[in-house]
Structures are given as C-alpha cells and as structure tokens.
Amino acid sequence: MKKAISPELGRAAMRALFIERSPLGPLKVMAKHVGRFFQIPLPMFKPYVVFGPEAVRKVLVTERHKVLWRNTDPVTDLLDRGVLIVDGDEHDHYRKLMEPPLHPARLADYTQMMISQTDRVTSQWRDNETVDMLIESRKIALLIIMQTLFSRDAWDDLPHIWNPILKAIEYISPGAWIIWRNMPRFGFRKPLKELDDYLFGIISDRRQKIEDRLSPTVHGQNDLLQHLIDAGLTDKVIRDQMLTMLIAGHDTSTALLAWVFALLGLHPETLKQVINEVDTTDKPQLLDHVIKESLRLYPPIHIGNRRIAEEMDFDGDKVPKDERLFYSIYLTHRDPEIWENAEDFCPERFAHGRKTPPMSYIPFGGGPRSCIGAALGQAEARIVMTRLLQTFNFEPVNPFQIHPHMGATLEPHPGVMMKVKRRTVISNQ
Ligand code: HEM
C-alpha cells in the first residue's frame, strides 16, 4: 500500500539527486524504500510512478483501455496529431499506414545505405582528433532516418536543420514547464517554423514528383512518406507524422549509439572482444548483447507517459481518473528482484537466452503500441556499430565523467569523447 514519504526519505532523495546529478537518483531511492508504486511529491506535479512486470503489463496490455497516450504538454503542442500521442481509431489508422516500410522484412533494403551514411560522417574525422560520439551518432542517425523514411539525402541539409532539430528536442524535454505549465518559452518560434518549412518543402517536392511520375522507391517499394500521401492525408497531418517519426526515430538511436560507446569506454576488455568479433564474424553476438545490455541500463525512452481515463488499481493502490501515470522502464530494468547484479554492466546475461519474466525487459515498450521502429533501431545500432569499429580505433577520453541526463531521451552527458584513428586494414561487412 502507498506509504507516506517521511522527511528522512525526502532527504535521501535529495542526496541522491545531488550525487547522481539526475532525477534518476531520487527515483531509485523511492523505488527502494517505497516499492513499485509511488507518487512524486513535487509542488504542482504529482505523477504516479509504477514499475515491474505486473504493473507494466496492466498499463501496456490488459488495462490499456484505461489509459490515454494524449496529455496536455509540449509534446502534444509540437507533434499535434502525431501517431505517438493520439488514441483510438485515429492512432490505429496512422500506425497501420506506417508499418509496411518499417516491417523487419524491409530492413535488408537499408543495410548498404546505413553503412554509406556512417562512412560519410566518419570521412570528416581526422586521425587523433577527439570527437563527441553523442554528436557524431546524431549525424549518422539523422541521415539514416531521413533516407529510410522520406528517401531524402539530408547531407547538405544538416547544417540548416541541425539547430531547429535540437530546438525541437529541447522544446519537449523536461523543464520548468512541468511545474509551470503555461510558462512563456522564448527562442523556439523561429527554429520550429524553419523545421516546419523544411518538412512541408519535402512534402510538396514529393507531390510534384508524383505529378511528374518520378516518385522514388527503395527496391521497388514505397517509403513512409509515400504511404502517407497515398492515404490522402493533409499536408498538416503528414507533417505531424514526419516530425514524430523524425524525432522518435533518431533521438533514440542517437542515445543508444552514444551509450554503447560510453559503456565500451568503461569496459576496455569488452571493447577489445567486440572489435575482434566484428573483424572475424558476420553475426556479432557479443555486440548484440552489449547493445541489449546498454538498452537495459540506459533505455533511451526511460518512462512511458500516460493520462488515466478510468481509475486504475495496482495491488490496492489506486490512481484516480485524469491523473498522470509514468510506467518506468528504467526502474523495471534495474529491479534487483528481477535482475541479478542489476546495476552492473554484464552483456553475458543475454548470452543464454532470456531468463527474466515477460515484461521485465521493455526498452521498446510492449503490447499493441510498442515501438514501431524497434526492428529498425536495433538493426541500425548493429550495422553502424560494426562499421565504426571496423574502420576506426576509439580511445575513450572522459569515461568516468559520463552520467545520464534526462532530456527528451536519456542521454550520456556531458558527451562521449573519443580519440579516433582510422584503422589501416578495413574489413568488409
Ligand atoms: C533504439 C531505438 C529506439 C528505442 C529505444 C525506442 C523506444 C520506444 C519506446 C519505449 C516506445 C513506447 C513508449 C511508450 O510506451 O510510451 C516507443 C514508441 C514509438 N517509437 Fe520508438 N524507439 C526506438 C526507435 C524508433 C524508431 C527508429 C522509430 C521510427 C522509425 C520509432 C518510432 C516510434 C513511434 C512512432 C512510437 C509510438 C508507437 C505507437 O504509439 O503506436 N522508434 N519507442
């Protein structure tokens, strides 16, 4: 049952905030001392938090009719009718339209392009230069998502869209608006308008190409943009889906790639083994386990955000209608009742098949609204990591300074600095 939060617990939470430099610290304190159900006691912001397989299954599967994805917050302001934040038939309609180009069977179509886009970014690196893998990963992920979903080679666009995209991400990241919902927010109007103009430009180019019968296909198949246009959606609704997919599809992959580098930087033995593996095999198993373990320890989307449409009950603890509920992926992934040595980096835990209960490993959510890009995101991480490790040596510069930061995703801050040097022998995929 729900426990009152004592002053001692409040102090422990504050200490954890200070030590871990992130709200993840206090969340762990609450989880440890209160349990799998608690309420965050902030002024004007008191969301309920649940974690663990039973609660997660309720939210994502068995009682999902009691929750809404749509809230009133900056995410909704920015993405409006985007598939991520609409409910019911409207959601199902958009989701169905966007599934075919993201189907696992299509992934092979994108492999070579992912390698080329990775090479394009690394072609700018100079030997012994220190690069920030958080930034470099974002470049790679942006080029890949633009090409995969909209058949847009965004290389020349990067300098123009970089700041607008970062501003869009900042706009939806947690901030003081959580407590002061209608606070004035300056500096966003112009870059967000530039991003809109860019997306509307891509839509009108495509409509023109369709008129001229020049619409692009990948191996004879339509891309996501073409599916949206063919369905007869308005430019505005297409823009909402494009911006949703652009952000959801690259900010997550950016965080994942950067975390994999951060963790390999802390574990040089594993890094050595992974390099050996990508040099000698076509199907790198250890790399796969490292990616999985990275998603467990630092899930880019660390919580799912819901609004309660009908009172919910978690083992006697109630969440009333209209309240905000978070299901915590982060806490589920670090629950010591489920995971042995939950706080440790241990890729081998994935080596012998799954031993944890269903809904205890949920980096892509679960149920009918699980991540639409899960297969793409995992393939991308594998392909990009393999290519990077085959072509460059990476020497970590700041491994012990890195800590998680809660932006729109969970990111490694202050960045993942790596000294890079091109390898003399370049092996092929
Ligand atoms: C490593 C990469 C990725 C991670 C960790 C990730 C994680 C997630 C998670 C946890 C959810 C569920 C959130 C919830 O229950 O509230 C989700 C949903 C979603 N993701 Fe991803 N994602 C990734 C890549 C992608 C990619 C590549 C795309 C697009 C191409 C994408 C598009 C979406 C969309 C549209 C949804 C909402 C689905 C719906 O509501 O029907 N994601 N993602």
Domains, the chain, in order of start with CATH, read 1-68+302-362 (3.30.43.20), 87-284+365-429 (1.10.630.10)
Nearest CA to ligand 1 atom 17: 371
45 pLDDT band (50/70/90 cuts)? confident
**Which residues does residue 306 pair with via DSSP β-bridges, in sequence order?**
325
Question: What is the structure's pLDDT at 2?
Answer: 56
1: pLDDT confidence band, cut at 50, 70 and 90? Answer: low
Phi, psi of 395 (to 5 degrees): -120, 115
Q: Is 307 in the pocket of ligand 1 (CB under 6 A)?
A: no
For the chain, the straight-line distance linking the first and the last C-alpha, in angstroms and rounded, comes to 54
Q: Residue 106: how many CB atoms within 10 A of its CB? A: 17
**Which pLDDT score is estimated for 425?**
62
Distance of CA 67 to the CA centre of its chain: 22
pLDDT of residue 178: 83
For residue 250, the ligand 1 atom closest to its alpha carbon is: 27
pLDDT at 29: 94
- In this structure, the residue with its CA closest to atom 20 of ligand 1 is 371
Share of the chain above pLDDT 90, in %: 85
What does the pLDDT look like over 179-228, one tens digit per residue? 888 888 999 999 999 999 999 999 999 999 999 988 888 887 899 999 99
371 lines ligand 1 (CB under 6 A): yes
Mean pLDDT on 287-315: 97
Is residue 267 lining ligand 1, measured as CB closer than 6 Å?
no
Percent of the chain with pLDDT over 70: 98
Predicted confidence at residue 3, as pLDDT, reads 57
* Structure confidence by residue, pLDDT tens digits, 386-424: 999 999 999 999 999 999 999 999 999 999 999 999 998
The reply to whether ligand 1 has any atom less than 6 angstroms from the CB of 366 is no
Does the C-beta of 148 come closer than 6 Å to ligand 1? no
Question: Number of helices and strands (H, E) in the chain?
Answer: 15, 12
Which pLDDT value is given to residue 22? 86
The angle at the Cα of 17, spanning 15 to 22, to the nearest 5 degrees, equals 160
For the residues 38-52, what does the mean pLDDT come to? 90
- CB-CB neighbours of 345 under 10 Å: 16
User: Is any atom of ligand 1 closer than 6 Å to the C-beta of 101?
Assistant: no
Q: Quick one: which of 416, 421, 380, 410 has its CA closest to 134?
A: 416
**Which atom of ligand 1 is the closest one to the Cα of 300?**
5
**Ligand 1 centroid from CA 280, angstroms:** 32
Nearest CA to ligand 1 atom 8: 364
pLDDT of residue 354: 65
Q: What confidence category does residue 20 fall into, taking pLDDT thresholds of 50, 70 and 90?
A: confident
Residue 333 Cβ inside 6 Å of ligand 1? The answer reads no
The response to whether residue 252 sits with its C-beta less than 6 Å from ligand 1 reads: yes
How high is the pLDDT of residue 217? 84
Q: For residue range 92-124, what is the model confidence (pLDDT) as tens digits? A: 999 999 999 999 999 999 999 999 999 999 999
Q: Is 56 in the pocket of ligand 1 (CB under 6 A)?
A: no
More confident residue, 337 or 424: 337
What is the pLDDT, as a whole number, of residue 338?
96
Instruction: Flag whether the pTM goes above 0.75.
Output: yes
Mean pLDDT of 72-90: 96
Indicate the pLDDT class of residue 355, thresholds 50, 70 and 90: confident
Q: CA separation (Å) from 82 to 63, 97, 248?
A: 23, 13, 11
